[in-house]
Amino acid sequence: MDNLKARRAFLFGRRAATAAVRPPWSLPEQDFLDRCTRCNDCVRACPTHIIVIGDGGFPVVDFSRGECTFCGNCASACTAGAVDAGDQTPWHLQITVSKQCLAKHDIFCMACVDACPEQAIRLHYAASVPTPEIDTSRCTGCGACIAICPPQAISLHPSETVTTP
Ligand code: SF4
Ligand code: SF4
Ligand code: SF4
């Protein structure tokens, strides 16, 4: 491992386990870190203001601020090629609903169902209070269901999380 990569592993290795969500169409994490110059042009280009400056000055998506409309502005703004809309799939994110979901505490809620523009969340009526079920084949990872969730039970994570000891 060269000095630069060793430094990155030291600085970012442990945090990679919690895996930042990079802007859509970003290169795989290591390539992204190699290419991104931390100019933060993508931060300024995002109309929904969901890209913020994260660890080490690299851009990350914060869905607590809003959703991604897949407008492509971040990719257009990235002259370094770290965010490249040439890849047809904007990102590979896994969505999870934690046990904090109100429905799992017998409180009726369908805020996420109403917020999802893809109708990817449906209520499952197996118990006294219906619980949300996500059809991952429909989920685009837009994040529209995240900020709206009262207990912040929904999260999106990169599916290609790299863990470094
Ligand atoms: S595609 Fe548009 S809305 Fe989504 S992160 Fe990029 S600039 Fe923001
Ligand atoms: S918005 Fe949150 S609390 Fe409400 S049903 Fe969806 S995941 Fe559960
Ligand atoms: S992240 Fe997925 S489930 Fe949530 S609103 Fe967007 S498409 Fe729907």
Query: How does pLDDT run along the chain (165 residues), one tens digit per residue?
Result: 334 433 444 444 444 446 899 999 999 999 999 999 999 999 999 999 999 999 999 999 999 999 999 999 999 999 999 998 776 789 989 999 999 999 999 999 999 999 999 999 999 998 889 999 999 999 999 999 999 999 999 999 998 654 333
24 lines ligand 3 (CB under 6 A): no
Number of domains in the chain: 2
Tell whether 84 is covered by a domain. no
- Is the pTM value of this prediction over 0.75? yes
Domain closes at, from 77, 107, 141: 77
Tell whether 88 is covered by a domain. no
Tell whether 164 is covered by a domain. no
Q: Are residues 60 and 106 in the same domain?
A: no
Domain closes at, from 24, 53, 77: 77
Token readout for 108 is 């009726």
Tell whether 85 is covered by a domain. no
16 lines ligand 2 (CB under 6 A): no
Q: Determine which residue's CA is closest to atom 8 belonging to ligand 3.
A: 116
Residue numbers of the domain that contains 97: 93-158
Domain closes at, from 25, 53, 77: 77
Q: Are residues 66 and 102 in the same domain?
A: no
50 lines ligand 1 (CB under 6 A): yes
Q: Are residues 69 and 118 in the same domain?
A: no
Judge whether 132 and 161 are in contact, CB under 8 Å.
no
The number of residues making up the chain comes to 165
77 lines ligand 3 (CB under 6 A): no
Residue 116 annotated as binding? no
Q: Determine which residue's CA is closest to atom 6 belonging to ligand 2.
A: 112
Ligand nearest to the CA of 121: 3
Burial 39-54 (b: 16+ CB within 10 A, else e): ebbbbebbebebbeeb
Q: Are residues 44 and 73 in the same domain?
A: yes
